[in-house]
Amino acid sequence: MRNLVFLITIFSFLSCSKKNNDYSIMNTFFDEHKIRLKNLSSEPFYLREGLKYWEEKEFKDLNFEIVKNEKYTIDTSLVKNKFIDSKVYCTSRISKPLFSKDRKRLLLAVEEDCKSDKSVTIYLLKEIAGKYIYETDISSIRTSVD
């Protein structure tokens, strides 16, 4: 019984530390690159939504596997570079980091939806000496005509 409680405690700790590490990576990146998140939603941008804009092969070529039925929420209280702007109807959504199969890179998506305009940027970060550094990004902007 003691061993069971010990194992549960360890698994809880590990799952929490991974979650906090994800937010630490996001906050560091957003801060270093001056990315501000307007009206941040707790509804995430799932990277599978990026397949509307880009081919899945582009992700696979970089050793990423897009999870199709993933479900999670964003704890907006743990995200630092956010602000509320009640003057405009725009919302931001972010993805949690998606690590490559070898964990040497990660993808992080930011979507801004302003009713008729929607932009999505997926950032590619590379792990160097235990820190994830910006490598490149791809963006897509869609404008709808009313």
Q: What is the pLDDT of residue 4?
A: 52
- pLDDT tens series, the chain, 146 aa: 665 544 454 444 444 444 578 999 999 999 999 999 999 999 999 988 888 888 888 889 889 998 888 889 999 999 998 999 888 889 999 999 999 999 999 999 999 999 889 999 999 999 999 899 999 999 988 887 65
Q: Does domain 2-143 have CATH number 3.40.640.10?
A: no
Q: Are 40 and 74 in contact (CB under 8 A)?
A: yes
Q: Are 45 and 112 in contact (CB under 8 A)?
A: no
- Containing 110, the helix (H) or strand (E) segment is strand 105-114
